[in-house]
Amino acid sequence: MYESQTQEVILKRMLDNVPSDIDKREGSVIYDASAPTSIEVMLLYAMCDYFLKNTFGDTADREYLIERAKERGLSPKKATYAVVKGAFTPETLNIPIGSRFSYDAVNYEVTEKLENGSYLLKCETAGTVGNLPEGRLVPIDYIEGLQTATLTEVTVPGEDEEDTEVFRARYLASFDSQAYGGNIADYKEKVNAIDGVGGVKVYPIWNGGGTVKVVFMTSEYAPPAAEFIERVQTLIDPETNHGEGVGIAPIGHVVTVAGASNSAINIGLHLSFASGSFEDYREAIEAVLDEYFLELNRNWQETQTATTDQVSNTGLVVRVSQIETRILGISGITDVEHTTLNGIEENLTLGVDELAVRGEVTNGS
């Protein structure tokens, strides 16, 4: 707002207010008195500009945005620790709780036994660094009789500290709907606050009066593991105490928790190349498809909208034009036409609780 108030502008304005019959040349008493003052006034304008910027949530720097958000009862989500499932052989071997294993540069600690040969492990480092693919676990502590240890899947994804712009969007969105007493906004706010949850849809009265269905995806924008679904169910409305208000859900709400599911999309392409064959470009094509589907899945929660008297649910729309545009951006591909999604040459609308994943990719003549 005050970018134009430079030292030169302020000094000129000060000198213009001095009578013309007084010496205002550089080196004069008036000039030498005004010049340092103009610098201080410029700094005051800069401070005012900084103050105004940090007064409003849509322009405030992180530290002041956090202070503004406190007025709404909001704070940035802290980094969380990934929980993974490990498989150990022989299955009859008892792995002591607290045993530590490494995977690349990350360490995990055994926290819970699920069944013989299957345990949950918690990453010792907070953030997405613990969300590693299937691979070998190397014991840090000696365990007599251990043959193999394998990380099989990420049960609860770890999350990095909430990004400033993501937090800003959440803060501004808090003004759009009021969360109270078990309405849709209340469920979304509280379930999204659970570590590892990346998006939620809420279905009121889905199976009669007093029933609520909550469907969620992970912070990796993928379907949750069965153990994660069970954990969220327990936090919201434990199955052994349905409707008693033991968890997050209000008294009288019988809540069923489910996970979003993947919908594999088979893609048929008809490509032309400057040189080479389809197999030369397969990896690049699959990479841009995966990136597009990830972008779609990030917006899965937004396909449900709720007003005071109506809830609207739609599925993600996979668009042929988006796929073709991204593929044409790959160097060496000169043309694409007659693209099909699951055998049909048109856009594909997924089910309301489905996430997009790449299926088989083929190239016709």
Q: State the Cα–Cα distance between residues 155 and 218, nearest whole angstrom.
A: 9
Amino acid at 69: A
**Per-residue confidence (pLDDT) for residue 30, from 0 to 100:** 86
In the block, which residue shows the tokens 């190239």?
Answer: 363
Over 80: is that where the pLDDT of 309 sits?
no
- Token pair for residue 196? 């590892």
3-state secondary structure (DSSP) of residue 82: coil
343 burial (CB, 10 Å; 0-12 / 13-18 / 19+) is: exposed
Instruction: Kindly report whether the global pTM for this prediction surpasses the value 0.75.
Output: yes
Q: What single string gives the DSSP state of each residue in 194-262?
A: STTEEEEEEEETBTBTTEEEEEEEETTSSPPPHHHHHHHHHHH--GGGTTSS-SSSPTT-EEEEEE-EE
The predicted pLDDT at position 307 comes to 64
pLDDT over 70 (residue 308): no
Confidence of residue 31 (pLDDT cuts 50, 70, 90): confident
| Lowest mean pLDDT across 10-24, 46-60, 203-217 | 10-24
Residue 121 has pLDDT above 70, yes or no: yes
Query: Which of these ranges, 41-55, 217-231, 311-325, has the smallest mean pLDDT?
Result: 41-55
Q: pLDDT by residue (tens digit) across 206-251?
A: 999 889 999 999 999 999 999 999 999 999 999 877 767 678 888 8
Average pLDDT, the chain: 91
> Residue 41 and residue 123: Cα distance in Å, rounded?
53
Q: In the structure, what pLDDT confidence band is assigned to residue 356 with cuts at 50, 70 and 90? A: very high
Gap between the Cα atoms of 198 and 154, Å rounded: 14
In percent, the amount of the chain with pLDDT more than 90 equals 68
Mean pLDDT (whole number) for 344-349: 95
| Res. 336: pLDDT tops 90 | yes
d(CA 88, CA 110): 11
